[in-house]
Structure 1
Amino acid sequence: MNQTEKAKAFGALHRKGDPVILYNIWDAGTAKAVTEAGAKALATGSWSVAAAQGYGDGQKLPMAVLLETARSITAVNELPLSVDFEGAYSTDPEGAAANVAKVIEAGAIGINFEDQNIGESGLHPLEAQAARIRAIRQMAEARGIDFFINARTDLFLQEGDGARHAGLVDEAIERGKAYAAAGASGFFVPGLIEPALIEKICAAASLPVNIMMKPGAPDPAALGKLGVSRISYGPGPYRAMMEKLKEAAAAVYRPL
């Protein structure tokens, strides 16, 4: 498949009630392993890609390194690749669109695009975030690609008390609708694990809803029944692999 065909195929994987599962990768080697395990598409996780290069999350990884990582994956793997692009390394709509164009040039067919103020507190105003999504969509359309913009809201990640998540659902739904109108392809609500709240968002959203797996979250089958269209594993795979690596190394270095 060419890039245009991969983009269409990736979008078609997002089916309400039959979610596409993305076991997040961080380089070409992990892409190969996940592909051989049966993945239908690939997605990087920003935390994992940054950590693998010795950086913290939050756009601390140089964009050039991230783009080279994407190129290295698409050069040797035929599956559609979505890149976790955080805040597109720009708060300006034109700058965000120009940066995402480089992701397309690297061979990717989609991004995660978040609405938090990276390095600060709170979220971007709704209209400001919608303006960035519109600019990215217009850029992608000009290139003739059905680019998948997975619009993420950080409402639930920024509120660590799950008991307060119910009070954020209406705002999340409002953001989802605005992002859809601006040209988003999917709506990502990481941090939310309460089944009733997930179901409410899935029922209200016109976009495919993405949930991130974390301790306490429903299993993939249960998420499908709630109406979820996409399941991500975020930094979980990287953290699990690093724990195994440390255990193996500790065994080697243990005094005889």
Structure 2
Amino acid sequence: MGGSRAQVNKPHKTRFSSKSSRNIHKISHKDKNRTAKSNHNVAQGARAARLQRSKMLREQKKEALLKEKRASSGSAGPPRVILLFPLSVSVNVSSLAEDILRLLSADVGGAFSSTVVSSEYKLRATVLHAPHGDLLSCMEMAKVADLIAFVASATEQSTCDYIDSFGSQCLSVFRSLGLPSTVVFIRDLPTELKRRNDAKKIITSGLTSEFPEDCKFYPADTKDDLHKFMWLFKEQRLTTPHWRNQRPYLIAQKELLNYCNFFMNFTSLGVA
């Protein structure tokens, strides 16, 4: 038999290999420290960049909210449209609208306009009351309202009487359209404190399921009740339906239609 008798180890076996050959693929201790330090610097830089970006986004959001609040509040901003909707035919929303306008207006006597500027609350507001039984008018008012205040009466005999058939129909339509910010006003509460609190709890428990989770209930009988609500309302950030940003509606207090036939038939519509 020919050939060399020298022992030849397989290259993937390390049992008989030398220490230097086993460590030849490893990085030196000096280069290893340099690589680890470089990776640490990269990680620190990425973390600092993330923190800086998060801080910038928070500041931009804060500035946008502050700008929105300044634009929507104050006597120079657009009026906030409050729609008073009666949940039943027995609720008198006309008297409630007069109470709110009297509270906001500086004039003690005389007729009130539906839009007033309040120097005390630093607020411009338009108060509308929906006609009970006119579904189309209620829908058009709900499309432009910034706040829908549903009004319930505490004089009803049972919980099912707080909302009549027309009120349930309008609520269903409003949910389909998309509700803006909502509150519930409770009228005709007893004057005695314990009975007043009990009546409010009964109405709240009976109507909570009909409205969004963030909808709050407020008594609205006295001037102090409306005063407390107005202080909260002027600081409230109102929510609007998503479709209103795509298909906005225009509300006008007065309109004027002009015809110009000098050179061509031309019609202009002026609103105020």
Answer 1 or 2: which has greater helix percent. Answer: 1
- TM-score by structure 1 length? 0.37
- TM-score by structure 2 length? 0.35
Query: Considering only CA atoms, is the larger Rg found in Structure 1 or Structure 2?
Result: 2
